[in-house]
């Protein structure tokens, strides 16, 4: 069996090719917008969210072509959020994945429009002819809930509060469940959807939610840890930016060793959630890989 890193690399190449194909049609009457969209969308990265969609699809014998396109739609939403997060009015970051951020290269206005375009295009992909009609309403519901005020946007609003005031620990958990965890949960549920799993009462659906919520939180704990002790070249963004800005993070409440232990416990809970199923090994390996990542 391949390592988690090898699996990510293998699927990332296929995901990148599909994202490239899905965005070739964008009207070249607006070449700067087209270039800006593809600059961020095709900039690499682990492609964890579409990988999760594919992995749950495979575990539950779903349609990989459906999972791929739904995962790509989610990756468009994720990329739009990164473009907007980096803007001067938000986090004001100049570096993303080791490259200048979108607004640094193309300007704030174009970066804003590129993010808007990617968000809109995601729903076009999720409702295309490639997706079975019966699944489209479920896909739209999953994506919109994850990306909207009850998900990522709501989490971002709480995050902004955390820049000027200390958040309570429960509020921090809620923030990350929305800001980061919502898209990870969506990825796992979209993989389930490709196998026709739509009922919240289905034990496979429940296992996906538990797995997603635990690795989503563990991912953020490790992210906060890396912000304190990581390497700028490895993680592709300045180290120490959270502490410098006074943001509330997990390291507000624990030291780096305690943070790792907390993430390790969450990872074990995620692995336990999918233990009853066959073909779970890639998802177990991914959970462990995310725990011990260095970037």
For residues 22-49, one letter each, b for 16 or more C-beta atoms within 10 angstroms of the residue's C-beta and e for the rest, the string is bbeebeeeeeebbebbbbbbebebbbbb
Q: Rounded mean pLDDT of the chain? A: 92
Mean pLDDT of 254-265: 96
Q: How far apart are CA 162 and CA 142, in angstroms?
A: 27
Return the ∠ at Cα 216 (arms to 285 and 78), rounded to 5°: 105
Torsion of CA 240, 242, 243, 249, to 10 degrees: -130
pLDDT given for residue 235 in this prediction: 46
CA 130 and chain centroid, separation: 23
Query: 37-61, pLDDT tens digit by residue?
Result: 999 999 988 999 999 999 999 999 9
Q: Which of 26-35, 120-129, 240-249 has the highest mean pLDDT?
A: 120-129
Q: What's the rounded mean pLDDT across residues 235-248?
A: 58
Average pLDDT over residues 71-87: 97
- The Cα 47–Cα 110 span in angstroms is 24
Count CA within 13 A, CB hemisphere, residue 108.
8
Q: pTM score, two decimals?
A: 0.92
Q: Does the pLDDT of residue 244 top 70, yes or no?
A: no
pLDDT at 116 over 70: yes
Q: What percent of the chain has pLDDT over 90?
A: 81
How far, rounded to the nearest angstrom, does the alpha carbon of residue 36 sit from its chain's CA centroid?
Answer: 20
pLDDT surpassing 60 at residue 25: yes
The whole-angstrom separation of Cα 5 and Cα 238 is: 24
Distance CA 260, CA 219 (A): 10
Other beta carbons within 10 angstroms of residue 283's beta carbon come to 26
Give the Cα separation of 113 and 175 in Å (integer): 26
Angle at the Cα of 211 from the Cα atoms of 186 and 243, rounded to 5 degrees: 80
Dihedral-angle region of residue 231 (phi above 0 means left; psi in -120 to 50 means alpha; beta otherwise): beta
Give the CATH superfamily of 4-291: Farnesyl Diphosphate Synthase (1.10.600.10)
Tokens of 242: 């959270």
Sign of torsion over alpha carbons 285, 51, 39, 140: negative
Half-sphere exposure of 243 (CA within 13 A, CB side): 14
pLDDT of residue 62 exceeding 80: yes
Tokens of 161: 């509060």
Judged against a pLDDT cut of 90, whether residue 240 lies above it is answered with no
d(CA 195, CA 55): 11
pLDDT bucket at 230, cuts 50 / 70 / 90 = low
In the structure, what pLDDT confidence band is assigned to residue 106 with cuts at 50, 70 and 90?
A: very high
Q: Are 43 and 101 in contact (CB under 8 A)?
A: no
Given this model, what pLDDT does residue 1 score? Answer: 65
């Amino acid at each position: 069996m391949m390592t988690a890193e090898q699996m990510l690399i293998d699927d990332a190449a296929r995901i990148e090719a599909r994202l490239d194909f899905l965005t070739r049609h964008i009207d070249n009457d607006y070449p700067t917008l087209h270039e800006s969209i593809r600059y961020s969308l095709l900039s690499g990265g682990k492609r964890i969210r579409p990988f999760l969609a594919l992995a749950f699809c495979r575990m539950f014998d779903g349609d990989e072509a459906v999972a791929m396109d739904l995962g790509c739609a989610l990756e468009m939403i994720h990329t739009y959020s990164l473009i907007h997060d980096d803007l001067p009015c938000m986090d004001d970051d100049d570096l993303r994945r080791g490259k200048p951020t979108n607004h640094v290269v193309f300007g704030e206005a174009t970066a804003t429009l590129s993010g808007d375009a990617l968000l809109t295009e995601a729903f076009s992909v999720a409702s295309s002819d490639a997706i079975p009609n019966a699944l489209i309403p479920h896909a739209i519901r999953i994506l919109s809930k994850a990306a909207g005020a009850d998900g990522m946007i709501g989490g971002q609003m709480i995050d902004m509060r955390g820049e000027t005031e200390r958040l309570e620990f429960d509020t921090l958990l809620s923030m990350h469940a929305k800001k980061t965890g919502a898209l990870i949960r969506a990825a796992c549920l979209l993989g389930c959807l490709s196998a026709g799993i739509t009922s919240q009462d289905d034990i496979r659906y429940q296992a996906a939610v538990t797995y997603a919520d635990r690795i989503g939180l563990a991912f953020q704990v490790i992210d906060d840890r890396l912000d304190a002790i990581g390497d700028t070249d490895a993680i592709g963004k300045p180290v120490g930016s959270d502490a410098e800005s006074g943001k509330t993070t997990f390291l507000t409440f624990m030291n780096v060793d305690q943070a790792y232990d907390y993430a390790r416990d969450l990872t074990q809970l995620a692995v336990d959630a999918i233990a009853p199923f066959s073909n779970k090994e890639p998802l177990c390996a991914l959970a462990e890989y995310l725990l011990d990542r260095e970037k």
